Amino acid sequence: MTTFLLFVLILVAAFASWSFARQKARQLRREAGLSDAERAIVADQVPLSRALPAPLRAGFEAQITDFLDQVDFIGCDGLEVTEEMRLSIAAQACLLVANSGTWYDTLRSVLVYPGAFRSRMKDHNGYVVTERMTVRTGESWSRGPVVLSWADTQAGADRPHDGHNVVFHEFAHQLDDLSGATDGMPDLAPGQDPAEWRHVFEEAYAQHLYRVENHRKTLFDPYGAEGPQEFFAVAVEAFFETPERIRDHAPEVYAQLSRFFALDPAEWAQPR
Ligand SMILES: [Zn+2]
């Protein structure tokens, strides 16, 4: 019995010291922030991050180090995941939550393909379930992982004002999913009224559907017509990439997203 107790004590002590050392290392890394080289990669890979207001920068860098600590990057189809890829994806994901206090609690891995990848999709039609293969640039699974095409991830970051960003899109789904369902209704910011959000988004979605069905020009990516959850994801892309347009032409959507993210990208200096 004494030997057993001793064994348990040693195990507990070993675990405690391992977990303490791990926490300490994480804290040190967080305090150190990004190295100059890492900061330069982020600025180069993700031009939009340069527009983030100065008071938010330290927190943003701490989030990037947390993200890199928490998330494993897995290269697929022979892709070797580089430092640039890790930092680019982490920075784009963290830009969304740079000031909101929300975090990707359930995410543990990001899979990266060299380019667009084939994915199996299930279609439900009553009791009949059919499967088909489809080509995708990104995918977000409930409670992780996120799957990304590196070519599209890089192109999305390189063109910060075209309204398309696959990382923003897939991580918007991750944020939406934290509420328990990926349905376009995420857990809102403290004090934000869910009834008001629902009203604004239902109306904007209906308008978007009407315009897509009638082949009119749209403010948001037509793909948003696939469902309220996709409309939320494309609205997030537009909020960050074409903020002035959204603020001017869909002010209520802009106001809701601005409150949700606690950010006002229409006021950011434009990166060059
Ligand atoms: Zn989507």
Task: List the single range of 81-90, 116-125, 250-259 with lowest mean pLDDT.
Answer: 116-125
How many angstroms does the Cα of residue 238 sit away from the middle of ligand 1? 13
Residue 5 maps to a domain: no
- The arithmetic mean of pLDDT across residues 75-88, rounded, is 98
Residue 146 maps to a domain: yes
Determine the pLDDT at residue 10.
Answer: 78
How many angstroms does the Cα of residue 151 sit away from the middle of ligand 1? 17
Residue 179 maps to a domain: yes
Residue 103 maps to a domain: yes
* 140 half-sphere exposure, CB direction, 13 A CA radius: 25
How many angstroms does the Cα of residue 184 sit away from the middle of ligand 1? 10
Which of residues 111 and 124 earns the better pLDDT score?
A: 111
Percent of the chain, pLDDT > 90? 79
- The arithmetic mean of pLDDT across residues 179-183, rounded, is 93
How many angstroms does the Cα of residue 100 sit away from the middle of ligand 1? 21
In this structure, are residues 228 and 250 in contact, taking their beta carbons and an 8 Å threshold?
no
How many angstroms does the Cα of residue 139 sit away from the middle of ligand 1? 7
How many angstroms does the Cα of residue 135 sit away from the middle of ligand 1? 13
How many angstroms does the Cα of residue 228 sit away from the middle of ligand 1? 10
Residue 3 maps to a domain: no
How many angstroms does the Cα of residue 182 sit away from the middle of ligand 1? 10
For 164-184, b/e burial (b = at least 16 CB within 10 A) is: bbbbbbbbbbbbbbbeeebeb
Residue 97: both structure tokens together: 């939550």
Residue 1 pLDDT exceeds 70 = no
**Domain of 153, in residue numbers:** 10-267
Q: What are phi and psi of 173, to 5 degrees?
A: -60, -40
Determine the pLDDT at residue 122.
Answer: 77
CA distances from residue 204 to 164, 174, 182, 230, 260 in whole angstroms, order as listed: 19, 21, 18, 13, 17
Determine the pLDDT at residue 26.
Answer: 67
How many angstroms does the Cα of residue 20 sit away from the middle of ligand 1? 39
In this structure, are residues 164 and 194 in contact, taking their beta carbons and an 8 Å threshold?
no
Residue 249 maps to a domain: yes
How many angstroms does the Cα of residue 12 sit away from the middle of ligand 1? 44
Q: Cβ–Cβ contacts within 10 Å for residue 154, how many?
A: 19
Residue 99 maps to a domain: yes
Determine the pLDDT at residue 255.
Answer: 98
Quote the number of domains for the chain. 1
Beta-carbon contacts of 236 under 8 Å, excluding residues fewer than 6 positions away, are 96, 168, 169, 172, 257
Task: List the single range of 16-20, 43-47, 106-110 with lowest mean pLDDT.
Answer: 16-20
How many angstroms does the Cα of residue 27 sit away from the middle of ligand 1? 34
Q: Cβ–Cβ contacts within 10 Å for residue 225, how many?
A: 18
How many angstroms does the Cα of residue 226 sit away from the middle of ligand 1? 9
Beta-carbon contacts of 260 under 8 Å, excluding residues fewer than 6 positions away, are 100, 186, 188, 189, 192, 197
Q: Residue 70 sits in a domain of what CATH number?
A: 3.40.390.10
How many angstroms does the Cα of residue 149 sit away from the middle of ligand 1? 14
How far is it, in rounded angstroms, from Cα 154 to Cα 131? 30
